[in-house]
Amino acid sequence: MIGIILLVLFYFTFPLVIIYLCKKWSLLKKIGSIVLAYGFGLLLGSIGILPHGSDAYHLALMGRAALPDTEMQALLDAGTITQGDSYVNSIASTQDLLVSIIVPLSFPLLLFSLNIKRWIRFAKDGFVSMILALISVIIIVSSGYLIFKHTVPDSWKVAGMLVGVYTGGTPNLVSLKVALGVDPNLFVMTSTYDMIVGAFTLIFFLTIGPRVFRAILPPFRHIEDSGLTEEILEEAESFEDFSGMFSGSRIIPLLKALGLAVSIFIVSFGFSLLIPKISQMVVVILSITTLGILASLINWINKIEKTFQLGMYFILVFSFIVASMADLSVIFSIGFLGLFAYITYAYLGTLILHILLSKIFRVNADDFLITTTAFVFSPPFVPVVAGALKNKDVIITGITVGIIGYVIGNYLGVGLGYFLKGF
């Protein structure tokens, strides 16, 4: 029991170390706290600190995260497994419980500080490009499912996650992992491959991408400064700024926000019990998303500082835990090459189709690139790409699209995943 308690404490404290390291060293900040959380989690799971369990225990799991107590006791009484396996199962049960709780707590916190009404007001500037990007993502991910469904395990779940992460970002990917019940190995590899392909795509966007797209699409028409660009730029850059999160003046309001997130979780869980024919976690995640959006419309909730950063801290904790649950011998097997091909197809296919549609509907090059960035890489990357474009006028458009992506990503991911499951 003491070992389990220490492990839980370590899971929640080490991400704070990651945040500190990213603040202290610019190189680590560029790598990203999420990437570091995955990396350290994989390291924790592979160096032998966490016990692995016998072959008989893993055979009994049959793909489940952990065995129920009654089944464990029956296997122990029969001599099929050992007491060591019982400890391994306790760790696995704890990990699964933490993963199931952390995401429902994190997503409302991510939504509380988002000024949905303001972002929707500015959505018109990139509305056409945003719709074309959505159409492109859905078509390509769906066609990729039909191509790779026999080579990628649980490909309908992968499709749901890809739509979520390509419209919102990592928070949506994490939420959909829980909603769709994705295996930790499959989730970690999907996230890892997405980071690899995404890194090359981002480098292209920051280097020759602007010249290439401006040669294909119409030029951007500059407008008068709305007066909000600097304010929104500052807000975007603060998305991953954890400094002062636990200062005296902020801790009480943040605890209130956390209490509200817990209340939303409880209400959503209760609501899921009323709809037994639908997967419980699907109902919980979508209910939490809806209630989180509604809560963000309440002024005093929306004004609480650092709720987004607190939500991202929980996402780091989740990433660290789920990576430590993965089996390196499995995730680097040849069986996941199909997954890499699917993700590469999704990136390139979406980009190419979006360009073609943008050409037809005469979307300008800068709006095309900034909306693509906002959907695929999320709002914090918008100012970076706007800098490469040398065009700060697109920052509002990009961040608006990214915020809308956060809001709709869970709905689209669950909807498309279950739709494709029937094929």
53: left (phi over 0), alpha (psi -120 to 50) or beta: left
pLDDT tens digits, 241-265: 777 777 777 889 999 999 999 999 9
Contact 204, 388 (CB under 8 A): no
CB neighbours (10 Å) of residue 227? 7
Give 248's contacts (C-beta < 8 A, 6+ positions apart).
none
* Residue type, position 170, single letter: T
Query: If you average pLDDT over every residue of the chain, what do you get?
Result: 84
pLDDT for the residue numbered 329: 65
Give 405's contacts (C-beta < 8 A, 6+ positions apart).
167, 168, 169, 172, 374, 375, 378
pLDDT tens digits, 95-123: 888 988 888 888 899 888 877 776 666 66
* Residue type, position 218, single letter: P
Contact 154, 182 (CB under 8 A): yes
- Which uninterrupted H or E stretch holds 103? helix 83-112
Distance of alpha carbon 366 from alpha carbon 388, whole angstroms: 10
What is the DSSP code (8-state) at residue 218? P
Question: What angle do the packed helices 184-206 and 170-180 form, to 10 degrees?
Answer: 160
Taking every pair of Cα atoms in the chain, the longest distance, rounded to a whole number of angstroms, is 77
What is the DSSP code (8-state) at residue 388? H
Contact 239, 34 (CB under 8 A): no
> Residues 411, 275, 288, CA angle at the centre, nearest 5°?
40
| Residue 227, φ and ψ in degrees, nearest 5 | 85, -5
pLDDT for the residue numbered 63: 62
Distance of alpha carbon 354 from alpha carbon 358, whole angstroms: 6
> Residues 163, 169, 175, CA angle at the centre, nearest 5°?
75
Contact 75, 67 (CB under 8 A): yes
pLDDT for the residue numbered 235: 62
pLDDT tens digits, 185-222: 888 888 888 888 888 888 898 889 899 999 999 988 76
In the numeric block, which tokens belong to residue 41? 């989690």
- Alpha helices in 25-68, H assignment, sequence order: 26-31, 33-46, 55-61
Calculate mean pLDDT across residues 76-96.
83
pTM of the full structure: 0.79
CA-CA-CA-CA dihedral for 251, 255, 256, 257, to nearest 10 = 100
